[in-house]
Structures are given as structure tokens and as C-alpha cells.
Amino acid sequence: MNIELELLQTILRENDIKPTFIRLKILDYIEKNKKHSDTEEIYLAVKKEIPTISRTSVYNALDIFQEKGLIRPLFITGNETRYEIELSPHHHFLCKKCGIIIDLDMEYEYFKKKTIEGHKVIDIQGYFKGECKNCLKGPKSKKGE
Amino acid sequence: MNIELELLQTILRENDIKPTFIRLKILDYIEKNKKHSDTEEIYLAVKKEIPTISRTSVYNALDIFQEKGLIRPLFITGNETRYEIELSPHHHFLCKKCGIIIDLDMEYEYFKKKTIEGHKVIDIQGYFKGECKNCLKGPKSKKGE
DNA sequence: AATATAATTTATAATGAATATTGAATTGGA
DNA sequence: TCCAATTCAATATTCATTATAAATTATATT
């Protein structure tokens, strides 16, 4: 067991999640991989190390992590749910051309607001959609074609 | 054919959408009903007047309306896609308790921004989630229990 | 009017993400 | 060790959506 996994183990324990190997590996993947992965991608990645793992275990682990606030789900594409490690609140940009999801660094005053128009705010998600910097540069930088 | 439907007819024609009865009725429903309906709700509502309508027709109509920018899809719940008439940009609040989706009136400076961190912005969706004003008032105002 | 052509609608099947269920395996105390 | 609870995995199922193909309707052409 390396140091990183031990740290993750501690994080899980602190959040009342039993640190099973599967959970560690799943959280480890989400943590290292800075993308916004969907369940299938996580499943395939962890499968390389744990070939017997089932999709259900991935769903289960993600559900627990989410309940405990370790990860945040993104419903940006409208298709599959994507996940990222829960860090300080930030918005996301989805490129409609190449599909990349980019974290935005902007700060907005309402990140600090606890209520809005009388409603109690627990979570905020801001999705910007359009064409990313890279795709704007021209057709030569297209990927996957 | 009443006046409202004639107006919708004109709107459809202006957007190069052939104003079939089905499309008129679907757009009419979304327009009148100020909620953020999902496909099933629209299907069931229109079915009352057009009993032979198929779900596929609803999906088709919604796709066209969306392509032409008449309606906007919301991916707020993470489950089904919801739709609203495309009006001036605004954010949404989802109550995790009762499920209601509320339009927020707040204005933000970035609604006017055409680019963000170098990326070209076409669409912005802001989702606030938490507990709505009404649910905060107490258990007596719960619905459906 | 009749026919051809295209667009629309319907019905049916297929897909794909997510959930439910069940039974086996594992763990943690009495 | 034994029992109970938890966890895991495999299967089946649900549900929203998409794809396909047939049927219907609308539009254009002769």
C-alpha cells in the first residue's frame, strides 16, 4: 500500500466510509485523473487493476462518495453523469465541438450566498457551453477525425 | 383554430418549421404551462387531445424546437431532460425536497459575455439546488405525502 | 384527378445509463 | 467460533432516449 492510498484510506475513514480496496481504487482514479469521468470510464480504468470488478460496485462507490460529499456529479452533457473531486466551487465549460469539459477559475459573489430569493442553497452548478479555445483555432487541431 | 395557435403557427413558420397540428399542440403546451416539463409530461398532456400521438413525435418535435432555438433543455435533475420556452437567460433553482424547479430572476454580468477564458460561449446554464422557500416553512406544506 | 415525391407520424425494437434484487463473500463483534 | 451486518458481484429490470422501418399525410408535378 503506497502513501497516496493510505491518505485516501484516512479520508474515507474520516467520512465514515469503510475503505475497501475497490473504493480506494475508484477514489484514487477520480483524484488522479483530472478529467470529469463518467461511470463507464471509471469502470474500465479500475477494471485494469481489478479485472473482476462489476459496474454495480462502481455505481455503489460513487453513490456513497457523493452522499458524503467527496465527489460532485455533473449533469452537463445531458447524457451520462460525470464526477469530479469536490473542491472549492467552480463552473464548467463544455465544448460542443470536441466534448472537452474545462474547469473555469472565475469567482462569483453568489458562491458565498446561503440563500437565493428565499430558498436555501446547498449546491450551485454553472455550465457554460460553446466552442473551446482550441477548437476555435481551426480545423487542424481537431481530434478523433 | 384560435388566435393563440395562429400566433404559434406564425412563430413556427418564421423558424422554418412546418406548423403541423402536433407541433402546434406541443409548443402550445410548453408555452402555456410555465413549468419545466419533461417529455413524458408533454406526451401525456398532448395525448389528451390527440390520443393517437406517439412518444417519438414528441421527441422529434422537441428536437426541432431546440435546434431552432425555440426551447431550451434543462439537465438539472440528472435524470430526464426538461424543457422551457427560450426567453431571456436566467438561472434555475431545484428543490431537492419537493422537486420543484423555480426560475430565478437574478441578473449576472456574464450573461452578456461572449467569451470566457478564451472559449466562445453560446449557452449558459446555472443550477442552484437546495431547499425551496416553501419546504423551509415546515412539514405541513409538504405535498404528495 | 392521378401519380410521384417528400415530409411527418406511428409503431416497434434497440440501446444505454442507472437501479433493484438476490445470493455469496467478507467482516466485525459477541 | 458463531452470528449478524455489511459489502460485493452477477443478473435482471427499469426508464429515458434513439434508431429503424412502415404507414400516413402533405406537397408538387404531370
B136 φ, ψ to 5°?
-65, -25
- Sign of the CA dihedral running B114, B118, B124, B128: negative
Cβ-Cβ pairs closer than 8 A, A with B, add up to 108
Is residue A48 a contact partner of residue A10, using CB atoms and an 8 Å limit? no
Distance A51 CA to D1 C1' (A): 33
List chain A residues with CB under 8 Å of B122: 96, 129-131
pLDDT digits (tens, 9 = 90+) for A56-102: 999 999 999 998 999 999 999 999 999 999 888 899 999 998 899 99
The torsion of the CA quartet B42, B46, B52, B58, rounded to 10 degrees, works out to -40
CA–CA dist B66, B26 (Å, integer): 13
Nucleotide with minimal C1' distance from the CA of B40 is: D16
What pLDDT sits at residue A139? 66
A21-32 and A3-14 helices, crossing angle to 10°: 110
Look-up of cell digits 445531458: A78
Nearest one of B18, B19, B13 to B1, comparing CA atoms = B19
Domains of chain A, each with CATH number or no CATH: 3-83 (1.10.10.10), 88-141 (3.30.1490.190)
How many CB atoms sit inside 10 A of residue A105's CB?
9
For residue B77, the 8-state DSSP code is: S
- Pairing label, strands A119-131, B119-131: antiparallel
Distance between A11 CA and the closest CA of chain B, angstroms:
25
Is residue A19 a contact partner of residue A9, using CB atoms and an 8 Å limit? yes
Burial class (CB in 10 A: 0-12, 13-18, 19+), A124: buried
pLDDT class for A32, splitting at 50, 70, 90? Answer: confident
What pLDDT sits at residue B56? 94
pLDDT class for A108, splitting at 50, 70, 90? Answer: confident
Which value, in Å, is the radius of gyration of the alpha carbons in chain B?
17
CA–CA dist A89, A4 (Å, integer): 24
Least confident range of B67-71, B75-79, B100-104, B106-110 = B106-110
What pLDDT sits at residue B55? 94
CA–CA dist A142, A138 (Å, integer): 8
CA–CA dist B84, A1 (Å, integer): 51
Q: Do B73 and A73 touch (CB under 8 A)?
A: no
Q: Would you call A80 helix, strand, or coil by DSSP?
A: coil
Least confident range of A83-97, A108-122, A129-143 = A129-143
CA–CA dist A21, B89 (Å, integer): 45
Task: Identify any residues that bridge with A101 across adjacent strands, giving them in sequence order.
Answer: A94
Measured between CA atoms, the residue of chain B closest to residue A80 is: B78
Is residue A58 a contact partner of residue A42, using CB atoms and an 8 Å limit? yes
Look-up of cell digits 432555438: B69
Q: Do A131 and B117 touch (CB under 8 A)?
A: no
Nucleotides of C under 7 A from a protein CB: 7-12, 16-21
What pLDDT sits at residue A145? 35
